Structure 1
């Protein structure tokens, strides 16, 4: 009789006595199932990582980005609040899977895509996480150079090199140490960044000119929707591919509603306040808004008195590092889910090297990075939205916990490839890319192929061209198709008969 085929990876951790304790300095747990003895987190614990990662003053720069769509202050405020809250609510829905399966997000999506089919969205997720964490590191380095210059120093090559070394070291060290260190770090950073952000608001409030802000003319519905999509992709949808990574230490008995609530509240509360304040600042000063386009945090620092620049710089860097740490930790887990057989700390270190090289290239060689980054964000945002719609529908259809063994066995109930989900994601992406436009045709010419379906809604010069409806279409179509097309498959999987 032939020997049984081994699973793709070990489905569960080793027995408890061989597992690293919560107090161990470096988390050794990779993508395996978290054992019951270590699922000690409570839903309210989710507040700390999500709040700390999103309380950065960088959030204020989105005020200028949103107004850049040509909409009024009130339109921008409504769009920002809705976009931030809804996008983090979607993260909360994904986080339910972490509680039910106690595994990283991309491993849990094997239930929807198949054990090997998950690699398709996994690659998109990994690229998105790498892009975000590198972007945050770049922001920290540029902010350092700008503020050092404001203090009368030389923010040139030497300062930038030192900043890159320090920022990269902080990000990589925390991500290599792992979950328990990150959770403790985030709870401390929450207070530090929160206090200094409040101080910034107090000092900058005199810069606001309400008459100028309220005089901003309103935009059409296409411009409003475009701003909404940008806010959603810049906040919650930018984190959605890692949302379950932070809930996998929750008890299986934890309330779904509590997980959604704390995830949404922790992620959304700070950005809502910061973006609205950023709208007031950007709408008051056109020069400030223009400066934010090239160096968001450095431009925001220019309106501060000199005595507060050093604590502002330190806090801004720590806040950006906080967000990058979440990204690089999860990108390492995603790398492992793609079949790379290395320890989790090594995966985080590899992504740290990529982050460092990317930061060096942009800081010293790239002519512009904000435009290409936003173009990159929308491009990956389409398939990521399709994946999110598929997985959310899959999660809401399920009534039972995941089969731990089957998540790592291509011959288990989840199968090797779920072609319904894969084809749905591909078709949604093709449709979505057809309804988005490259707003940065000169800076990111490699993306000018998009928008091939815009002729259906007025062409590339029409009112709807910059609405980026493709992100919405991908999310909604992915959800609806999965809700109906995979209902029977999900039922059979939960009955234990799926293949």
Structure 2
């Protein structure tokens, strides 16, 4: 058994790692999933996503449709992945051993770890930059020393919650949900006077390439960034819990906040070009100039709570992914290791990188392609399985799932190669090699160059490829 679960830890620290949750520990209802998903996605960063979406050259109504469809579809994927947690009562990357094999699963586990650590880093960076902007406007500093202090505090809270684990996270997320929702509504009320409907509706329509580009950006920035850890939070539910409830509450919790905030961001950025331009360098700090001075501290609180809410869920899942990739340490230690890496990465971005948007989009698309392929494979495998997961085989390479399953690994490789060939990112110089398959549809300068179809292609290759090779799952289940 590759999991490490130790009881020699301080009281209150979760000892569960990659193991299957014992029947005595399974509790709650599907509705409890609403709180962590809502809290981790209520960040005011979604307001800036509105500017990103509109930046594709869409009308307000096109941007609205792309935002809603992209948000709901991506979190619906999280909802379906969450079903595996209910059925198998184990973390996502433990259950991923069923299609990939016990040792073969180290490949998607490593990819999952990269994605979650990357998101942790992004959220800590945003918290640091936004705090610096607010402190500067208040005349309280905002320079290097302030950034260092904020980075240490935000990273420290995130790591601490990640170490203590599930129960603390669920309690913290409930508080964050309520506090953030109230303060975010306050921001929207104060900023609403800056919306000019005539300017909003004046934006001209874009074509299908622009629409799909915005749609994919929303999907990768939201739900597709969570699919690899969705079962981590449903694994504590009783197996008798409603499947429809698991999918529905996960989708609702993840989608509700971003949809409201992105729509507001669309209207705000369409009315204020200066604000729309500013979010590229500081996605959250750029939202502060329109606020009265007295609301800057409440705004800072909502920013920190929202970003910490997302970072906490990421560091919890990144620790599990690191263990699943083969690191033989207890879950709290894995979370601590990830926290150190996260802090170093955040410091490099804050103090070395020249802008935020380029590295951010490059990261989302590049890692999003193989994760989309994995998601398609995982969901296809979940759909084909009629029996419960064989728990001992998830930890034994000699069991039903074997050591390495070549077909899923081949599918993730094919999906990645095809996907990277159909995406581009002009804002990140280190990714200019991408887009090598765009020639037949106009090349890297054509209309479809920035539609990022590679993400959708990778998802479909993984899903359809798994369904076409269903005999593999049938042979496994025949041995039960």
Match of 1:223 in 2: 210
Structure 2 CA distance, aligned partners of 1:202 and 1:366?
Answer: 34
1:323 aligns with 2:323: no
Match of 1:285 in 2: 272
Match of 1:4 in 2: none
Match of 2:48 in 1: 61
Q: 1:203: Cα distance to partner?
A: 0.6
Structure 1 runs of 4+ aligned residues shifted over 4 Å read: none
Query: For 1:47, which of 34, 37, 42 is the aligned residue?
Result: 34
Contact 1:98–1:248 (8 Å) recurs in 2:
yes
Q: 1:24: Cα distance to partner?
A: 4.5
Match of 2:434 in 1: 450
Match of 2:412 in 1: 425
1:352 aligns with 2:339: yes
Match of 2:184 in 1: 197
Structure 2 CA distance, aligned partners of 1:175 and 1:372?
Answer: 25
Instruction: Give secondary structure in 2 for the equivalent of 1:296.
Output: coil
RMSD: 1.4
Q: Deviations over 1:335-370 (max 9, x none)?
A: 011121111111000100011111111111211232
**Which shows bigger deviation, 265-274 or 356-365?**
356-365
Match of 2:479 in 1: 496
Q: 1:19: Cα distance to partner?
A: 10
Match of 1:483 in 2: 467
Instruction: Give secondary structure in 2 for the equivalent of 1:465.
Output: coil
Match of 1:169 in 2: 156
Structure 2 CA distance, aligned partners of 1:164 and 1:47?
Answer: 29
Q: Deviations over 1:23-50 (max 9, x none)?
A: 9511111111110000112111100100
Aligned residues: 480
Contact 2:30–2:241 (8 Å) recurs in 1:
yes
Contact 2:2–2:328 (8 Å) recurs in 1:
no
Contact 2:3–2:323 (8 Å) recurs in 1:
no
TM-score, normalised to structure 1, is 0.94
Contact 1:8–1:410 (8 Å) recurs in 2:
no
Structure 2 CA distance, aligned partners of 1:341 and 1:149?
Answer: 44
Contact 2:36–2:173 (8 Å) recurs in 1:
yes
Contact 2:280–2:356 (8 Å) recurs in 1:
no
Structure 2 CA distance, aligned partners of 1:453 and 1:366?
Answer: 30
Match of 1:109 in 2: 96
Contact 1:226–1:469 (8 Å) recurs in 2:
yes
Match of 1:3 in 2: none
Match of 2:175 in 1: 188
Instruction: In structure 2, list runs of 5 or more residues that go unmatched.
Output: none
Match of 1:335 in 2: 322
Match of 1:208 in 2: 195
Match of 1:361 in 2: 348
Structure 1 CA distance, aligned partners of 2:182 and 2:3?
Answer: 44
Query: For 2:230, which of 243, 250, 253 is the aligned residue?
Result: 243
Q: Deviations over 1:383-408 (max 9, x none)?
A: 11000000001111112221110000
Instruction: In structure 1, list runs of 5 or more residues that go unmatched.
Output: 1-6
Structure 2 CA distance, aligned partners of 1:222 and 1:399?
Answer: 39
Query: For 1:256, which of 234, 243, 247 is the aligned residue?
Result: 243
Match of 2:456 in 1: 472
Contact 1:54–1:271 (8 Å) recurs in 2:
yes
Structure 2 CA distance, aligned partners of 1:225 and 1:438?
Answer: 15
1:435 aligns with 2:422: yes
Structure 2 CA distance, aligned partners of 1:121 and 1:258?
Answer: 28
Structure 2 CA distance, aligned partners of 1:272 and 1:9?
Answer: 38
